[in-house]
Amino acid sequence: MNTAPLTPEALWPRTLEVTRHALETGALQPITTEARTVTQGRATFQVRILGRVALKERPRPVPAGAAPFNPFAHPEPDLVVGDVSPAHVCLLNKFNVVEHHLLVVTRDFESQDALLTAGDFDALATCLEGLDGLAFYNAGETAGASQRHKHLQLVPPLGPDGLRAPVEALLPALPGPGRVVAGGALPFLHLLAGLGA
C-alpha cells in the first residue's frame, strides 16, 4: 500500500497502472457485458446487459457466530490504487462492469447504510478532482449495496459527449456553491446543490 496520500493529479495515471497490473495478476476480474444505447426523452442512457454468468462468487454460508467476510477490511494489494486520506483508501472494483470503476472505502468499518460524513465528501472530492466522472453511494442493501462496509463509487463519464451521467442533459445549470435549486425536467422530487468553495 502507498504511504503518501493519493493526489488528484496522480489518480488517473495510478488507476491505469494498477488496472494493468491487476489484469495481469488476475486480481481484477471484469464482468463482460454488452453495451446498448437507449434514449428516453432528452436523455441517452448506456445500458449494460450481462452476457455470461458473473464471475462474482456467491456468498458462502457464514457459520453461526462468525462475522461475515469483509473484502474491504484487508483489500487485495493488487487492487489498491492508493490512500485518499487517513480514513479512506481507493480500490479498483474487483468485479467491474465499467472499466476503471473505483471504490472509495472507509479504512475502519462503518455500515453501508450510515449517512455520509464530511470526511467521506472530502475523500470523494479529492478523487473527483482527478477523475470527473459519476460518483454514487448505495446506502444499504435496498439501494443495491452488496457489501456492508461503507464505500462510495466513482466511474468515468458514462454518457455521450463526455457527460458524467445521462441525466445531466435534463438538469439546469448547476448552482453556485451553497445554492440549492430544483430542475423542472425530472419527474421525481429532487434538489441540486452547488458544492465547493
Q: Kindly state the DSSP code that residue 149 receives in the 8-state scheme.
A: B
What is the mean predicted confidence (pLDDT) over 89-93?
Answer: 97
Contact 107, 89 (CB under 8 A): yes
- Give dist(CA 90, CA 82) in Å, integer: 5
3-class secondary structure, 91? strand
What percentage of the chain reaches a pLDDT higher than 70?
A: 85
pTM, two decimal places = 0.82
pLDDT tens digit sequence for 93-111: 999 988 999 999 999 999 9
Q: Are strands 192-193 and 43-50 parallel, antiparallel or unpaired?
A: unpaired
Helix (H, G, I), strand (E, B) or coil at 95: coil
173's grid cell: 445549470
What band does 81 get if pLDDT is binned at 50, 70 and 90? very high
For the segment 16-46, what is each residue's pLDDT rounded down to a tens digit?
Answer: 999 999 999 999 999 988 888 888 777 777 7
Distance (Å, rounded) from C-alpha 58 to C-alpha 64? 18
- In the chain, what are the domain boundaries? 8-54+73-166, 167-196
Comparing 32-36, 63-67, 121-125, 149-153, the range with the smallest average pLDDT is: 63-67
pLDDT category of residue 130 using cuts at 50, 70 and 90: very high
What stretch of H or E contains 10?
helix 8-25
Superfamily of domain 8-54+73-166: ATP adenylyltransferase (3.30.428.70)
Cα separation of 62 and 52, whole Å?
27
